[in-house]
Amino acid sequence: MALPDGFLQELKSRCDITDIVSGYVNLKRRGRNMVGLCPFHSEKTASFNIYPENGSFYCFGCGAGGDVITFVMKIENLDYIEAVKFLAQRAGLDMPENSYDDGMSKMRTRILEANREAARFFYKQLYSPEGNHGLEYFHRRALTDNTITRFGLGYAPRSRFALCDHLRKIGFTDNEIVTANLAFRSSDGRRIVDRFADRVMFPIIDLRGNVIAFGGRILTDQKPKYLNTSDTLAFKKSSNLFSLNNAKNTGSRQLILCEGYMDVIALNQAGFKDAVATLGTALTSEQALLMKRYADEVIICYDADEAGQKATTRAISILRSAGLGIRIITVPDGKDPDEFIRNKGDKGPAAFKNILDNSGNDVEYRLYKLKSQFDLSRPDTKAQYMTEALKVISTLDSSVEQDIYVSKLSAEIGIEKSAVQHDLKKLQKRRHGDNERREFSKISAELTGRNDKLNTEKAKNIRAAKAEELLIAYIVHNNDMAKVAAEALPPDKFVTKFNADLYEYIIERISEGTDPGTTLSRDFTADEVSKFYSIINSFNSQVATREAMNDYINTIITESEKLTKSDISQMDSADIQARLERMKKQKK
């Protein structure tokens, strides 16, 4: 059974969307609405809008939209029922009993419970005789027992059945253990086998303190060196960061981005508690946006080897797109951060702090890397270096920053500043032209419906589809006209199926006395909900009239009666003539 409409209406009335969203996004008033930088994609100009009047949000940059439930689902990575529970708890509402199917929610809860028990099991095994070589490994890496306990580190036994047997004894089913990715089924399908064996274990903990996954490091030379939990109902590796649960509480608005678990733990133990790491994958835009919630600046602290430097270059682009300030730490002597911190000579925490305080920004780093690729004693390569350096400088938004780096570049290569500025202006003009062409292409695709992945019939029926969307928006803003519209134009008269289904749903909900937006996030996919709010929030309800509604209806009827080549091939001349006569009368 579905959640009662009355409960959902009460929930939304108590959970003001502006209050909820402002906990994640810095909002500013713009007329009757609120605007801010979208938390779901990288942008520099605010295109994320809150509409207090209908309790919705919509981003004109990435197309994300919905109600307060949809927002919580997306921002907290929850399913529908979990998002409702999240909001109900915040609003002080009790969930209705036995009135909804929360199978997915219950399975996610069981996965989290299994992970918590697995973490306890691994920690206990670390301090057992069998886990002694795992404990020795951590001690060799200079981790104290206090640090081991604080991060909940552990050891997975050599036996491929130890964890499975333990979890079964305390009530978990084979299906729950496998779904949690703590085990996999044997090739003959008769047994389940531990995913992790003879590895030191790193629990991955989310922002609410749940153990959502694990990373395991092998203690031999076998491959892979690290094994990580695959994505589950409770875990998406591209959307989480190791130790962000610790770093978010420092209050510094700064994060140190490392490559691996041990780097983070070593830095944390040394007093740098704002360190985080990705989870066995390269940095993603989702992780960058997550960091943006808790930091204004990210200090990249990757290994000094070639792979680390390539990862740094890639991370710079992603972090800059997210609107984050960037600095780069280059650890001396090719050391990784963990190794540098552990050194008791002229290195260690104090030396790392000095490197941290004197680290340069990403522009300086990129220019330094570029310079190393060119022989500046030769005129031809000097010119090449200037061209590539200006490409970096031209990406800066601040004209003051640009001027600073142009001055440095001019002095560095011995070319008049005016000449460097001239080339920069040419490059910026070309870049501006490219951006305008891309923007024009995007707008053109939207106007012609080529970008509409949900309503695939729109591009071939653009006039009808636009009238359908306007009619849908009109009746959502004017519920009292829904019955009139339905009598004049039943859903089967719509030209495009997607709009017809949406129209029928809205008509039914209004006839039942329910706001369509109340149940939309329950009954439609996230993309469909976004499309709905795109339609209604792009509509100017202030100028809409009854006459306009009639125009929408007439346009749809006219377009639906147009003959296709297929229609004509199956009609005789009398049918065609009769159809043409009807169309003439309609025009009169």
How many CB atoms neighbour CB 511 within 10 A? 12
Would the CA dihedral through 472, 474, 479, 484 be positive or negative?
negative
CA–CA separation, 23 and 44 (whole Å): 20
Q: What's the per-residue H, E or C state across 175-192?
A: HHHHHCCCEEECCCCCCE
φ, ψ dihedrals at 193, nearest 5°:
-125, 135
CATH superfamily of 104-235: DNA primase, catalytic core, N-terminal domain (3.90.980.10)
pLDDT value at 38 more than 90: yes
pLDDT, position 43: 85
Q: Are 561 and 80 in contact (CB under 8 A)?
A: no
Q: Where are the domains of the chain?
A: 5-91, 104-235, 244-361, 373-445, 459-587
Output the CA torsion 247→253→257→261 (10° steps): 0
For 373-445, the fitting CATH number among 1.20.58, 1.20.50, 1.20.1730, 3.30.70 is 1.20.50
pLDDT, tens digit (0-9, with 9 covering 90-100), for 57-96? 999 989 999 999 999 999 988 888 899 999 999 999 998 8
**How confident is the model over 141-181, as pLDDT tens digits?**
999 999 999 999 999 999 999 999 999 999 999 999 999 99
Alpha helix positions (H), 77-211: 80-91, 103-126, 132-140, 145-151, 162-169, 174-179
Q: What would the mean pLDDT of 546-570 be, rounded to a whole number? A: 79
Q: Classify domain 244-361 at the CATH class level.
A: alpha beta
Could you give the percent of the chain with pLDDT greater than 90? 64
CA 367 – CA 371 distance, rounded (Å): 6
- Look at residue 443 in the predicted model and tell me its pLDDT: 67
**Contact criterion met (CB below 8 Å) for 66 and 529:** yes
Pick the residue with more confidence: 342 or 355?
Answer: 355
Q: Picking from 101-105, 128-132, 342-346, 566-570, which range would have the lowest pLDDT averaged per residue? A: 566-570
Q: For position 568, what pLDDT does the model report?
A: 52
Percentage of the chain exceeding pLDDT 70: 93
CATH number of 5-91: 3.90.580.10
Q: Which two tokens stand for residue 403?
A: 């001027």
Predicted confidence (pLDDT) per residue in 426-459, tens digit: 998 888 888 778 777 766 766 677 778 899 999 8
Residue-wise pLDDT for 187-201, tens only, equals 888 899 999 999 999
Residue 101's pLDDT band (cuts 50, 70, 90): low
Q: What average pLDDT does this structure show over 510-514?
A: 90
Distance separating alpha carbons of residues 315 and 22, to the nearest angstrom: 28
For residue 25, give the nearest of 15, 38, 12 by alpha carbon: 38
> Taking 70 as the threshold, does the pLDDT of residue 581 lie above it?
no
Nearby residues of 510 by Cβ (< 8 Å), 6 or more positions away: 475, 479, 482, 516
Banded model confidence at residue 377, pLDDT cuts 50, 70, 90: confident
99 pLDDT higher than 70: no
Mind listing the pLDDT tens digit for each residue in 563-579? 554 555 555 666 656 65
The yes-or-no verdict on residue 328 having pLDDT over 80 is yes
Q: What is the token pair recorded at 66?
A: 């919905």
Asked if domains 5-91 and 459-587 share a fold, the reply is no
In this structure, whether the domain defined by 459-587 belongs to CATH 1.10.860 is answered with yes
Distance CA 310, CA 36 (A): 33
Residue 156 DSSP SS3:
strand
DSSP state of 95: P
What pLDDT, in 10s, does the model give residues 358-367? 888 999 999 9
Q: What is the pLDDT of residues 465-497, one digit of tens each?
A: 999 999 999 999 999 999 999 999 999 999 999
Q: What are the structure tokens assigned to 300, written together?
A: 């990249």
pLDDT the model gives residue 579: 56
Flag whether pLDDT at 530 surpasses 80.
Answer: yes
